[in-house]
Structure formats: structure tokens, C-alpha cells
């Protein structure tokens, strides 16, 4: 259970760092970036609810 939660947090951190790394392109696609972050947060919360 905890290992899955740790794996999802690592994936979440990797995804957010990737978004920050490509900030030049995401400024042009601001709405898409916000949607991606919202989807990641939603998936992260759902996985936490399922695991606990």
C-alpha cells in the first residue's frame, strides 16, 4: 500500500518537474498545463483514496 503511494508521489513529482522544465512551451499553452496539473492532482487523490 505505502509503496504504491510512494510510487505515485514520485510520478507526480516527475510530472510536475517536467512541466516546469518545459515552461517556455507551457506559457504558450497555459490552459493545457492547468488541465494537466488538475488531471494529475485528481488521479493522485483518487489513488490515495483507493490505497487507504
Q: How many CB atoms lie within 10 A of CB 47?
A: 17
Alpha-carbon span 11 to 17, nearest angstrom:
10
Q: What is the pLDDT of residue 29?
A: 63
- Which residues constitute the domain of residue 42? 2-51
Domain count, the chain: 1
Q: How many CB atoms lie within 10 A of CB 40?
A: 16
Q: What is the pLDDT of residue 35?
A: 78
The answer, as to whether pTM is greater than 0.85, is no
**pLDDT tens, position by position, 1-44:** 688 888 888 888 777 776 666 665 656 666 676 778 888 889 89
Amino acid at each position: 500500500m505505502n509503496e504504491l503511494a510512494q510510487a505515485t508521489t514520485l510520478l507526480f513529482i516527475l510530472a510536475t518537474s517536467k512541466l516546469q522544465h518545459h515552461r517556455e512551451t507551457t506559457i504558450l499553452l497555459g490552459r493545457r498545463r492547468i488541465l494537466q496539473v488538475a488531471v494529475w492532482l485528481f488521479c493522485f487523490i483518487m489513488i490515495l483514496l483507493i490505497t487507504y
